[in-house]
Amino acid sequence: MSNTIKKVAVFTSGGDSPGMNAAIRSVVRTCAFYKIECVGIYRGYEGMIEGDFKPLTARSVKDIINKGGTFLKSARSDEFRTKEGRKKAYDALVAENVDALVVIGGDGSFTGALIFNEEFGFPVMGIPGTIDNDIYGTSHTLGYDTALNTVVDCVDKIRDTASSHNRLFFVEVMGRDAGHIALNVGVGAGAEEILIPEEDLGLDRLLESLRRSKQSGKSSSIVIVAEGDKTGKNVFELKDYVEENMEEYEVRVSVLGHMQRGGSPSCFDRVLASRMGVKAVESLLEGKSNYMVGLLKDEIVLTPLEQAVKGKSEIDHELIRVSDIMTT
Amino acid sequence: MSNTIKKVAVFTSGGDSPGMNAAIRSVVRTCAFYKIECVGIYRGYEGMIEGDFKPLTARSVKDIINKGGTFLKSARSDEFRTKEGRKKAYDALVAENVDALVVIGGDGSFTGALIFNEEFGFPVMGIPGTIDNDIYGTSHTLGYDTALNTVVDCVDKIRDTASSHNRLFFVEVMGRDAGHIALNVGVGAGAEEILIPEEDLGLDRLLESLRRSKQSGKSSSIVIVAEGDKTGKNVFELKDYVEENMEEYEVRVSVLGHMQRGGSPSCFDRVLASRMGVKAVESLLEGKSNYMVGLLKDEIVLTPLEQAVKGKSEIDHELIRVSDIMTT
Amino acid sequence: MSNTIKKVAVFTSGGDSPGMNAAIRSVVRTCAFYKIECVGIYRGYEGMIEGDFKPLTARSVKDIINKGGTFLKSARSDEFRTKEGRKKAYDALVAENVDALVVIGGDGSFTGALIFNEEFGFPVMGIPGTIDNDIYGTSHTLGYDTALNTVVDCVDKIRDTASSHNRLFFVEVMGRDAGHIALNVGVGAGAEEILIPEEDLGLDRLLESLRRSKQSGKSSSIVIVAEGDKTGKNVFELKDYVEENMEEYEVRVSVLGHMQRGGSPSCFDRVLASRMGVKAVESLLEGKSNYMVGLLKDEIVLTPLEQAVKGKSEIDHELIRVSDIMTT
Amino acid sequence: MSNTIKKVAVFTSGGDSPGMNAAIRSVVRTCAFYKIECVGIYRGYEGMIEGDFKPLTARSVKDIINKGGTFLKSARSDEFRTKEGRKKAYDALVAENVDALVVIGGDGSFTGALIFNEEFGFPVMGIPGTIDNDIYGTSHTLGYDTALNTVVDCVDKIRDTASSHNRLFFVEVMGRDAGHIALNVGVGAGAEEILIPEEDLGLDRLLESLRRSKQSGKSSSIVIVAEGDKTGKNVFELKDYVEENMEEYEVRVSVLGHMQRGGSPSCFDRVLASRMGVKAVESLLEGKSNYMVGLLKDEIVLTPLEQAVKGKSEIDHELIRVSDIMTT
């Protein structure tokens, strides 16, 4: 492997997600395995600019594989959006003798890395970490599987109370641009209807579906609504609309919120993080740069960062069909 | 034991809570043990009026001790608030040969039972089921312990993301009239501040406390807010107020909502439900009426229903003091 | 679609696994969607012989998607291994007007279905349900993902006590013929060593690895052992062997046992079950028979049952490599 | 308050239990609140002898309230059983200017503290930490409530597979000298029979009970067995005995093992730990010594350590009666 890279820096950026700690651990241990140095950068690009670095050894990352969040913390950085900010960051990295970067985050974080690479020729590798699963080039982002379990567990709990009271619940889940969580949780929790950004179900069809559900003898119903659903109404407006148009139902709203991002990662996310960290470091050592590590058809593969940023993760249309059959 | 009671009816009323199914099971099995009949009434007082009864045997209630919600369902009944409604309910019970009632619910449900007993002399026993723990005459209502664990688990998850981003979170938990959940979860989750209906912390002291917390080096903070807190502001107004007055913090709000009511009951709630159901049926068989079964100082005791309805469950002031020490 | 199939029977066979109920539900609802009848067979082949059938409608399977186990129950059947037994089963199916079978289970269950098809030309479709993930033709069997999370959660708990006491734990997990659970949980829980049936690590290398781990400053260690590991020793003999050869360690053993099979299915398993059930029924309606529905490279595909039975699911050798790097 | 105590040392000893970290945190923060110093002693009496101390501030204990195990670790110490060992420990404490000790542990740990106090007049306070709940002077030891939830959750999972296969399971739970876990989990998980050290059910009555259970139509059964049950047989011998005498049942055994000690503490245990830590430090500051902090009838109280060590925690006979009614 290449011996031009002697020190790798790893950081997390953007919204946190379960599995980020496991990915940091993997990057650190892979560096240790190949006997190269590793530093952690605190608070993402902000900390990079400020030189907030800390050497990490195999021992530094023990007992974190099962922890939610990111111990390196994350932050937005307005300064990194300026050329001056990025220059400062570059100088800090050079001063620390860092040769390459592994960034764990989402679209915005990757865009920053791309520009940084373009300006300073700094080798960068991306690992997709976000619960929304809205990144092109990977079937699963880190934290997505965990979030599915967290959300399905919440909806199961809401089902308890919905069933006890014959109520209709609108449950808003994360996903501003992508309905992956809503669709999978909707199927997994047996929701009666699912509203996602990718599909315009239309308010009329929603009412019709709820009426049919009521007539078929269902006494309670759960509708999963992605934050960015296409009806153009937010979840509280939806409630009002349905209550105005269907007196049969007493409607309740639940916005699950930030707890969806937290929690101990699932086994899948821990294993995925471990695999991605190895690939990221080994790819850098092979002289590669500007790629995102992803999982496609069960294999760990590289996608050019530029494609990852520009491409769009597609909703699973076959699963929409399955969902329709399940709610017959 | 008395042989005037040959058939007991059990029902759930008001908001559901984890442990209600376990309490129904206990009532049913205790009836079976004493070789008397038991019927379940569906949908509370509404079902009582409609005669929506179902005979329950020891077998009918297998595999429900660990289920959230109530399989007998619950409902509000406007009709039961009228004398005519209650007469219908009485006639339905007489037609079914029911001799006594066990009502599992909260204040409102007990008030209904009291009036019913006054008018028709029907023996009634209450079992306190609500997550809010706001009932006089018992240290623990059914579902309260489970809700504490559910909520503390959510706040742990929010802590993951709060810590990763150095943010301030306001987390609203259930408790319109009582701060038990907020106070205990606040201590259990290590919250920096706790706002409850029983105490007027005052907005100034909140700001001061948050500033002190920031200065002491804490980079993230969690404030637990009971629904009915004394500041007179709801949780979103609180957010605005703090953001206007403290620019150091990026504030996020999370309203946990109805999921707090659901989920498989904790071992404590299952055992408590089992003990309460036995006591309710045995007390009826001893000829007692108009009592609520409660847990006081670890013992199962009876409190007159009238006191249970009129009395007020007190917040644990010693625990407020502990909370203050913990957030030093 | 074919209109020769008017009634489908579904049953579970062999060891139960989380997701079986979700798969039954999906088969039932897909039948409802295509307006064909569906019956459930209780207790697998045993119930088939006895004609223990029950008509299932979309309503019959509500509220089971999140339940572990199988409400249709499972059983071994010695009688079905005889030609007479299978004839009885055939007669019972014909008497019930069943046109096709969906069997949810593992290798043994599929073998039974194959023989039955051969003898009576009865259309059969298989859905792989077992936590062991040891079936050819699918990357994931139903229940495997759930089991990974259950087991990783147990190992996290054992880690708490191992770390507190500087102890070495051998944790035996399920997997008599396949090390999938052991390998993934080993990586996911950060185990120091993993012993699986597919690889002969050798006792010497185990001791060496534990010594190295001790020397590198680790004060506690966890070794994951698959039931069928290659050392030829069971987990208690392993403990004795290590204690005899390494006095540095106080060794403890934990055999996780049957709880690994239970619990509410993960979101992944619920979605997978829903997808598989749709495919199974639609394939029968298309006139196909003798296939197993599987997931390969994220797509739902068919594999001839015969191949599924004869083929061998391969361990992920790349993940073994990742594991070695992680335990550097 | 007394100003003779300027520095408190806290340590954990014996088996770890969930809530120990929360108790350490509480001791540390209470010291901070009263502006006295606090040091942590690593590895119990062993570390005390070796002077393995670390100053702890309010910041040192952040983010540990929800962690299982004990970050101060625990260990057995043969040397502390000798007078020389205890003299070394005393010298180390004096060298560190420690004025008083808070020991978190069980009977054995308290006995050590008593002897130490007798020999050197060193002020000591005990906090009961063990999942077994076998300590006199407190209705709840730290970790007991958490363990109940962990174990009931395991038994729920085993129930899934037991029900699916019509099997009889013997589940061994912790409790060598006390059946608290077995009794409460038995009631909470709806076990058909419970075998505890405090009661000699007798093998004949067990068989009779299982036969009655079978005849009443139960197809699966779960028997909870405390480690130290009175039958004189271990759980595997029990299995053999039952299989020899009842061919109706296929018996399986599950020994839950060390995972029962781990996991994130329940809200109850976190709050209890917080309350106990405050009381322990405040009592020392009031000049008290040789007490154990306990919870009795919902109040935090002191019991002389000597009584705590000599007394016996009683099984709840009323709950045994409830259990008998539930399994009618």
D190/B325 Cβ within 8 A:
no
ipTM, interface predicted TM-score of the complex: 0.96
Interchain contact, A62 vs C267, CB within 8 Å: no
For A116, other C-beta atoms within 10 Å of its C-beta total 21
C199-206 CB contacts, 8 Å cutoff, 24+ apart = C199/C230, C199/C315, C199/C320, C200/C230, C200/C231, C201/C230, C201/C231, C202/C231, C203/C231, C203/C233, C203/C241, C206/C231, C206/C242
C219 annotated ligand binder: yes
* Least confidently predicted of A152-161, A245-254, B30-39: A245-254
Express each pLDDT in C130-158 by its tens digit: 999 999 999 999 999 999 999 999 999 99
User: Across the interface, do A68 and B160 touch by the CB < 8 Å criterion?
Assistant: yes
Q: Which residue has the higher pLDDT, A201 or C143?
A: C143
| CATH architecture designation of domain A7-143+265-310 | 3-Layer(aba) Sandwich (3.40)
Q: Coil, helix or strand for D254?
A: strand
In chain C, residues with a C-beta closer than 8 Å to the C-beta of D159 are 69, 262
Provide the number of CB pairs (under 8 Å) joining chain A to chain B: 116
Q: Of B1, B269, B246, whose CA–CA distance to B127 is shortest?
A: B269
Q: For CATH 3.40.50.460, list the domain ranges present in chain C.
A: 145-261
The pLDDT tens digits for B183-215 are 999 999 999 999 999 887 778 888 988 888 888
Token pair 């007998």 in the structure block, residue: B72
Q: Is residue A6 scored above 70 in pLDDT? A: yes
Interface check for A157 against chain B (CB to CB < 8 A): the answer is yes
Catalytic residue among C16, C52, C99, C132: C132
Asked if residue B70 lies in contact with residue A164, where contact means CB atoms within 8 angstroms, the answer is yes
Q: What count of other Cβ atoms lies within 10 Å of the Cβ of residue B298?
A: 14
Per residue in B10-44, pLDDT tens? Answer: 999 999 999 999 999 999 999 999 999 999 999 99
C1 falls in which pLDDT band (50, 70, 90)?
very low
Nearest residue on chain D to C164, alpha-carbon basis: D73
- Across the A:C interface, residue pairs with CB atoms under 8 Å apart total 139
The pLDDT tens digits for C165-191 are 988 999 999 998 899 999 999 999 999
Which tokens in the block code for residue D232?
A: 């004189």
Sign of CA dihedral A191, A197, A199, A205: positive
What does the pLDDT read at residue C201?
Answer: 74
Q: By C-alpha distance, which of B185, B153, B169 is closest to B218?
A: B169
**Which residues are A124's β-sheet partners?**
A101
Measured between beta carbons, the chain B residues lying within 8 angstroms of D149 are 149, 266-268
Q: How far is C221 from chain D (nearest CA, A)?
A: 14
Report the Cα–Cα distance between both ends of chain D, in Å, rounded.
56
- Chain B adjacent subunits, 3+ CB pairs under 8 A: A, D
Residue C103 DSSP code: E
User: C39: part of which helix (H) or strand (E)?
Assistant: strand C37-41
Query: For chain A, what is the HEC assignment?
Result: CCCCCCEEEEEECCCCCCCHHHHHHHHHHHHHHCCCEEEEECCHHHHHHHCCEEECCHHHHCCCCCCCCCCCCCCCCCHHHCHHHHHHHHHHHHHCCCCEEEEEECHHHHHHHHHHHHHHCCCEEEEEECCCCCCCCCCCCECHHHHHHHHHHHHHHHHHHHHHHCCEEEEEECCCCCCHHHHHHHHHCCCCEEECCCCCCCHHHHHHHHHHHHHCCCCCEEEEEECCCCCCCCHHHHHHHHHHHCCCCCEEEEECHHHHHCCCCCHHHHHHHHHHHHHHHHHHHCCCCCEEEEEECCEEEEEEHHHHHHCCCCCCHHHHHHHHHHCC
Least confident of A186-190, A226-230, B74-78, B200-204: B200-204
Query: Strand locations in C42-167, DSSP E?
Result: 53-55, 100-105, 124-128
Percent above pLDDT 90 for chain A: 84
* CATH H superfamily, domain B146-261: Phosphofructokinase domain (3.40.50.460)
pLDDT band at A1 (very low <50, low <70, confident <90, very high): very low
CA distances from B176 to A172, B173, B181, B182, B263 (A): 23, 9, 10, 11, 21
Cβ–Cβ below 8 Å for B262 and A74: no
Active site residue A132: yes
CATH architecture type of domain A145-261:
3-Layer(aba) Sandwich (3.40)
Instruction: List the single residue in D with minimal CA-CA distance to B192.
Output: D62
pLDDT of residue A230 exceeding 60 = yes
A12, β-bridge pairs: A104
Does B158 contact chain A (CB < 8 Å)? yes
Asked if B266 lies within 8 A of D271 by C-beta distance, the reply is: no
Question: Does A33 touch chain C if contact means CB atoms closer than 8 Å?
Answer: yes
B 102-131 residues with CB below 8 A of D?
Answer: none
Interchain contact, C163 vs D257, CB within 8 Å: no
For tokens 């880690």, name the residue: C159
Cβ contacts of A68 on chain B, cutoff 8 Å = 157, 160-161
For the record, the structure tokens of C116 come out as 């039955």
| pLDDT per residue as tens digits for the range D37-46 | 999 999 999 9
Mutate to test the interface with C, among A26, A212, A264, A322 (most CBs of C within 10 A): A322
**C contacts of A322 (beta carbons < 8 Å):** 26, 274-275, 278
Question: Is residue A274 a contact partner of residue A268, using CB atoms and an 8 Å limit?
Answer: no
For residue D30, the model assigns a pLDDT of: 98
User: What 3-state DSSP class applies to C109?
Assistant: helix
CA distance D287 to chain C (A): 31
Q: What is the mean pLDDT of residues C187-212?
A: 89
Name the residue facing D267 among B149, B264, B326 (closest C-beta): B149
pLDDT of the residue at D1: 44
Which residues in chain C have Cβ-Cβ distances shorter than 8 Å to A156?
A: 66, 264
Q: Which positions in chain B touch D151 (Cβ < 8 Å)?
A: 267
Please answer whether residues D14 and D106 qualify as being in contact, where contact means their C-beta atoms are separated by less than 8 angstroms: yes
- Residue D221 assigned as binding residue: no
pLDDT bin (cut points 50, 70, 90) of residue C232 is confident
Residues of chain B with CATH 3.40.50.450: 7-143+265-310
CA atoms within 13 A on the CB side of B273: 40
> Could you tell me if A328 lies within 8 Å of chain C, comparing CB atoms?
yes
| Cβ separation D148–B184 shorter than 8 A | no
Residue B216 touches chain D, beta carbons under 8 Å: yes
Range 191-210 of B in CB contact (< 8 A) with D: none
Token code pair at residue B222: 């969690």
Q: Tell which wins on pLDDT, D201 or C90.
A: C90
Count how many residues are written for chain C: 328
How far apart, in whole angstroms, are the C-alpha atoms of residue B321 and residue B238? 24
Pairing verdict, β B221-226 and B168-173: parallel
Domain boundaries for CATH 3.40.50.460 within chain B? 146-261
pLDDT at A166: 83
Q: What is the pLDDT of residues B82-127, one digit of tens each?
A: 999 999 999 999 999 999 999 999 999 999 999 999 999 999 999 9
From chain D, the residues in CB contact with B65 under 8 A are: 188-190
Please tell me if residue D180 touches chain C, with a CB cutoff of 8 Å. Answer: no
How confident is residue D3, by pLDDT bands cut at 50, 70 and 90? low
Local confidence band at A109 (pLDDT 50, 70, 90 cut-offs): very high
Structure confidence at residue C3 (pLDDT): 59
Interface test with D, best of B30, B146, B218, B271 (most D CBs within 10 A): B271
What are the structure tokens assigned to A19, written together?
């599995």
Q: Residue D42's closest chain C neighbor by CA? A: C164
Amino acid at C187: V
Amino acid (one-letter) located at C7: K
Mean pLDDT over each residue of chain D, to the nearest integer: 94
| Minimum-distance CB partner of C166 among D73, D164, D257 | D73
> Using CB atoms within 10 A of its CB, is residue A136 exposed (0-12), middle (13-18) or buried (19+)?
middle
Of A75, A254, A261, the CB nearest to B259: A254
A276 marked among binding-site residues: no
Q: How far is CA D110 from CA B153, D87, D106, D290, in A?
A: 32, 17, 6, 9
State which amino acid sits at residue A288: K
pLDDT of residue B3: 58
Is A148–C267 a contact, with Cβ atoms under 8 angstroms apart? yes
In the β-sheet with C100-105, what is the strand arrangement from edge to edge? C53-55, C37-41, C7-12, C100-105, C124-128, C291-296, C299-304
Q: Name the residue with higher pLDDT: D212 or D6.
A: D6
Does residue C216 sit at the A interface (CB-CB below 8 Å)?
A: yes
Nearest to A158 among B158, B253, B258 (CB): B258
- Mean pLDDT for chain A? 94
Catalytic residue among D132, D134, D145, D229: D132
Band of residue D219 on the pLDDT scale cut at 50, 70, 90: confident
Find tokens 């009944």 and name the residue.
Answer: B77
**Alpha-carbon span D176 to D174, nearest angstrom:** 6
Beta bridge partners of D304: D291
What would the mean pLDDT of D60-77 be, rounded to a whole number? Answer: 95
User: How confident is the model over D206-213, as a mean pLDDT?
Assistant: 88
- A16, A132, A134, A145: the catalytic one is A132
Integer CA distances (angstroms), D182 to A204, A315, C292, D16, D196, in order: 55, 48, 43, 19, 7
DSSP letter for C121, please: -
Task: Tell me the pLDDT of chain B averaged across its residues.
Answer: 94
For residues A109 and A120, the answer to whether their CB atoms sit within 8 Å is no
Phi, psi angles (nearest 5°) of residue B77 = -135, 110
Query: In angstroms, what separates the C-alpha of D84 from chain C's closest C-alpha?
Result: 24
Q: Does D218 touch chain C (CB under 8 A)?
A: no
Q: Say what the pLDDT of residue A3 is.
A: 58
Q: Could you read off the pLDDT of B248-279 as tens digits, one per residue?
A: 778 999 999 999 999 999 999 999 999 999 99
